[in-house]
Amino acid sequence: MGLFDKLKAEFIDIVEWLDPTNNVMVHRFDRRNNELKNGAKLTVRETQVAVFINEGQLADVFKPGMYTLTTENLPILATLKGWKYGFNSPFKAEVYFLNTKTYTDLKWGTPNPIMLRDVEFGPIRIRAFGTYTMKIGDPVKFIKEIVGTDGEFTTEKITEQIKNVAITRFTDAIAESKIPVLDMAANYNEVSKFCEDKIKPEIQEYGIDMTKFLISNISLPPNVEAALDKRSSMGIIGDMGKFTQYSAADAMTAAANNPNGGGAAAGMGMGMGFGMANMMMGNMNQAQQNQQGATVPPPMPPSLSFHAIVNGQQAGPFDLNVLKQMTTQNQLTKETLVWRQGMAGWEQAGKVTELVSVFGVVPPPVPPVPPIPPQQ
């Protein structure tokens, strides 16, 4: 054996992985022909786990620490290889490093609006988005279920699946809660916790733990938000009369200060000025009357009008003056059927209290004229 071969045989491999990125979850250690030497040094840093795979079969798992690869600390691999009395260098095995740190600020959101039935607005559409955090909880299960033979697995390859689960569970939670849209902001914590409890068991089947699920915002369609803003503005304005006066005065000031308005702006300013003056005078007169204790007369009561059966046909409605004239023409008698709004049915005019004045006082019959005695 030459000097170079002797030195080469004494070289000790170092198996380690330094993560230069922030999104790699699994990295396969690059080694020509996957060959490792007896006594190679394995370094597993914090938030890492190293998994050995032999010909597609999972073997030994190493937690954070520094190891010298021997038969003693590779029991599963030694069994798979059939090493009874130690192994000869080199040997072939794949080494996967899994990053077990917590991945933060991962986004989720509804790609399409969610249809809901709100107690105040009726059928409505909402959008929602937020963040969540996750980490690898079971390295062996994660490799079996998700990674497979992928040499470098990033968060982007799993977040889409988690996002779909999150949207489904969020939709169920919102629909079942029946929380009004205007009250959802006060229940973000409760809904977030409910969704987190629903999502955790599902993604644990892939070897992933969800450590936090948060709702950042629930929003309405733009047209609904605009209508809601108008509704809020009306509530803030309060007195519409004062608001109209303020708006007119503000517009008049803007028109008067417009250097390009010319005569039109001046005329508009004068017109609005007269309008404001009349409005202010009216308000002053009203205030003065209120201070003097002036009372506003109540509105006149509605006049009574009746329908009547005249010559076998319905006619009218007639007010009391017309009905009084009809009595003089024998078109209306006490036996005539009449009806007005509010009555249950047709009644004889003589039995209706409001029509007593129409017929007046009937004079007694004329007494007989005594006979004139004959002249003698």
Same fold, 103-220 and 305-357: no
pLDDT of residue 9: 45
Domain 103-220: top CATH class: alpha beta
pLDDT for residue 256 is more than 50: yes
**CATH number, span 305-357:** 3.30.1490.40
Predicted confidence (pLDDT) per residue in 28-37, tens digit: 888 766 677 7
Which burial class, exposed, middle or buried, applies to 19 when counting CB atoms under 10 A from its CB (0-12, 13-18, 19+)? middle
What are the pLDDT digits (tens) for 44-67? Answer: 999 999 998 887 788 889 999 999
Domain ranges for the chain, please list them. 3-99, 103-220, 305-357
User: In angstroms, rounded to a whole number, what is the distance separating the alpha carbons of residues 90 and 156?
Assistant: 36
Helix pair angle (240-256, 262-291), 10° resolution: 150
Q: What is the 3-state secondary structure (H, E, C) of 120-141?
A: CCEEEEEEEEEEEEEEECCHHH
Average pLDDT of the segment spanning 5-19 = 66
pLDDT for 138 equals: 93
The DSSP output letter for 372 is P
What are the pLDDT digits (tens) for 263-295? 545 554 555 555 555 655 555 566 555 555 555
What amino acid is encoded at 117 in this protein? R
Q: What is the pLDDT of residues 315-353, one digit of tens each?
A: 878 888 887 888 887 788 888 888 888 788 888 888 888
pLDDT of residue 253 exceeding 50: yes
Distance between CA 215 and CA 167 in Å, rounded? 11
